[in-house]
Amino acid sequence: MDTTLCFGAGRLPDRSLVLTFDDGPGATVGMGRGPKTVELARYLADEQIEATFFMCGKHVNEHREIPQQVLSLGHRVGNHTWSHRHLPELDDESIRDEMRSTRQVLGDCGVDGPIPFRPPWGEWDARIDAAVRADEGILQEHTANYGWDLDGNDWRCWWDMGSPQECAESYLAVALQQGHGVVLMHDSTADPGTPGEEMRAGNLAVEAVKLLVPMLRAEGFTFVPLSAID
């Protein structure tokens, strides 16, 4: 595992985007708001877009069938820790436990080989780096450590019960400004307590992405896999 936080800037051609989704997986029965990870993965597969889904162990544990479904649709699955806690607030062993436990449950769900990692909130420093490097198993089970370049704050839209159109337009504006990079979106929410519950309940990621993809293509953007920045 390359523990250096990796970004798309400087590694991708202009108008190239990598789609990534954090905090899932999730499943919601019926129409309307709420996480729908598999439906999102299916739409992207139909559009021939390979995305990466950085999953939290606590959600994987509740939806053990989803990681393999996402993989079968041609996407990558990554580790986003077990409970989405702020890593700088944890001691070294707790940091390692957050990563180990999620890698274990993903393995139990059929996610084989080294997988990508993303720290919650993109928080990474020298102490966290050293704590991770001290565990050879973690290093062997992960490919690299990924940040992001473009963020349209979809979580705020879901918290405010905003529309998919509003969310898509926010990401389009950021993409036009930045030009290229790794895009951060959320197919669920892993934050604890009331804020997390409200954002999860308000999620319309599928609807927003269905609007955003053609908007971006109309502006000349193409979609590339996360491996393009390895």
Instruction: Give which of 172, 177, 184 is closest to 147, Cα–Cα.
Output: 184
Q: Is 13 left (phi over 0), alpha (psi -120 to 50) or beta?
A: beta
What percent of the chain clears pLDDT 70, i.e. is strictly above it? 100
On whether the CB atoms of residues 213 and 46 are closer than 8 A, the answer is no
76 CB-near residues (< 8 Å, 6+ apart): 50, 51, 52, 53, 115, 116, 225, 226, 227
Give the whole-angstrom CA distance, residue 205 versus residue 207. Answer: 6
Q: Where are the domains of the chain?
A: 2-229
With 90 as the cut, is the pLDDT of residue 19 above it? yes
Question: Quick one: average pLDDT of 99-113?
Answer: 98
| pLDDT computed for residue 30 by the predictor | 81
Mapping DSSP to helix (H, G, I), strand (E, B) and coil, where does residue 80 land?
coil
- Tell me the pLDDT tens digit for each residue of 178-223: 999 999 999 999 988 888 999 999 999 999 999 999 999 999 999 9
pLDDT in the model for residue 81:
98
Q: What is the mean pLDDT of the chain?
A: 97
Q: What is the pLDDT of residue 29?
A: 86
Percentage, residues of the chain above pLDDT 90:
95
Q: Which CATH class is domain 2-229?
A: alpha beta
